[in-house]
C-alpha cells in the first residue's frame, strides 16, 4: 500500500502559485499511490462549504480526477470544512486523531495543534472556535461578514503568536508521549508546527517515531509511505 501524507498547504486566493504547486504535486507524486492524506490547514481560511471561490473549485477539480483515495483532516484554519466540500472533491473527512495501520504497524494521524498544550491561550480559543454554538452562529452569517470575522481571528492570532516563544508554539513533549502511549502507537504523523523533522520518542512499550510534515510556503517536506517504510521527502516548487 503506497500512501502520501501532506499538510499545511495554506492554499489562498492571494497565493495561486501554491495551488499550481499542489496540482503539479498531484500529477508528479500521486498518480501511482493508493491513498493521499491531507492532515489539516489545506486552506488558509475556510468560510464554509458554500463559499464559491475559483480557488476552491480548482482544488475540487484537481482532487476529483485522482484515482487514489483522498482523506482530509481539519486544521486550525480550515476546521469548518464539511461533507459538501469532501463529497464534491471525492474525499473523506477524518476525525483528529485518526488511527491507521502502515504495513503491520499502528500509526496515529493528527493535525498537531491539539499537542501544543503549553499555548494555553490558543487551547482556550480552540475550544471556543470548535464549539457547535460558535460554528452555527458563524455559518448563519453572510459570506462578507464571515470573511471579516475570520480575518480578525487570523490577525489577532498572528499578533499574539509573534509574542510567544518557539517552545510555547511547538508541541509539548509530554503530551506527545501521553497521546502515543494511550493510542499504543509507535508512529505519530502530524503537521501544524511547520517544523518538518523525524523525532525519536521513548514510549512505555519501546521506541517510537514522530514525523512532522512541512508547510508549503516555498517548498515542503512530505511523507511517503510504502507499507511500513516511511520517508520524509523534500519537494521544491
- Binding-site ranges for Mn ion (CB under 5 A): 41, 75-76, 192
Q: Please, what is the minimum distance in Å from the beta carbon of residue 67 to Mn ion?
A: 28
146 versus 192: smaller Cβ distance to Mn ion: 192
Measured distance CA(1)–CA(230) in Å, rounded = 12
Judged by CB, which is closer to Mn ion: 44, or 186? 44
Residue carrying the nine cell digits 510567544 = 164
Report the nearest approach of Mn ion to the CB of residue 192 (Å). 4
Q: Which residues pair with residue 101 across a beta bridge?
A: 106
Return the C-alpha cell found at 15: 497565493
User: For residue 39, what is its C-alpha cell?
Assistant: 492532515
Residue of minimal Cβ distance to Mn ion: 192
Report the distance separating Cα 110 and Cα 95, nearest Å. Answer: 9
Smallest gap from residue 65 Cβ to Mn ion (A): 27
User: What's the closest the beta carbon of residue 10 comes to Mn ion, in angstroms?
Assistant: 9
Between 75 and 214, CB nearer to Mn ion: 75
Write the DSSP string, 75-131: -SSSTT--HHHHHHHTEEEE-SSEEEEETTEEEEE--SGGG-TT-HHHHHHHHHHTS
Q: What is the CA radius of gyration of the chain?
A: 17
Q: With respect to Mn ion, which residue has the nearer C-beta, 76 or 221? A: 76
Q: In the complex, what is the shortest distance from the CB of residue 194 to Mn ion, in angstroms, rounded to a whole number?
A: 8
Q: Which is nearer to Mn ion, 41 or 44 (CB)?
A: 41
Amino acid at each position: 500500500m503506497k500512501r502520501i501524507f501532506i499538510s499545511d498547504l495554506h492554499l489562498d486566493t492571494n497565493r495561486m502559485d501554491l495551488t499550481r504547486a499542489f496540482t503539479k504535486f498531484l500529477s508528479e507524486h500521486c498518480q501511482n499511490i493508493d491513498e493521499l492524506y491531507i492532515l489539516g490547514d489545506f486552506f488558509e481560511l475556510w468560510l464554509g462549504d458554500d463559499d464559491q471561490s475559483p480557488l476552491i473549485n480548482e482544488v475540487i477539480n484537481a482532487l476529483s480526477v485522482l484515482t487514489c483515495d483522498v482523506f482530509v483532516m481539519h486544521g486550525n484554519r480550515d476546521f469548518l470544512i464539511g461533507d459538501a466540500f469532501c463529497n464534491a472533491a471525492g474525499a473523506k473527512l477524518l476525525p483528529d486523531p485518526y488511527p491507521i495501520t502502515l504495513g503491520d504497524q499502528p500509526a496515529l494521524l493528527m493535525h498537531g495543534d491539539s499537542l501544543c498544550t503549553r499555548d494555553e491561550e490558543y487551547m482556550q480559543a480552540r475550544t471556543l472556535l470548535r464549539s457547535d454554538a460558535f460554528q452555527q452562529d458563524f455559518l448563519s452569517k453572510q459570506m462578507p461578514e464571515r470573511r471579516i470575522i475570520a480575518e480578525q481571528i487570523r490577525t489577532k492570532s498572528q499578533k499574539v503568536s509573534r509574542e510567544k516563544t518557539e517552545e510555547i508554539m511547538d508541541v509539548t513533549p509530554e503530551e506527545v508521549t501521553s497521546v502515543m502511549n494511550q493510542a499504543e502507537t509507535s508512529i505519530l504523523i502530524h503537521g501544524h508546527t511547520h517544523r518538518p523533522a523525524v523525532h525519536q520518542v521513548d514510549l512505555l512499550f519501546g521506541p517510537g517515531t514522530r514525523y512532522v510534515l512541512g508547510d508549503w510556503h516555498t517548498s515542503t517536506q512530505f511523507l511517503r509511505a510504502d507499507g511500513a517504510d516511511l520517508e520524509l521527502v523534500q519537494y521544491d516548487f
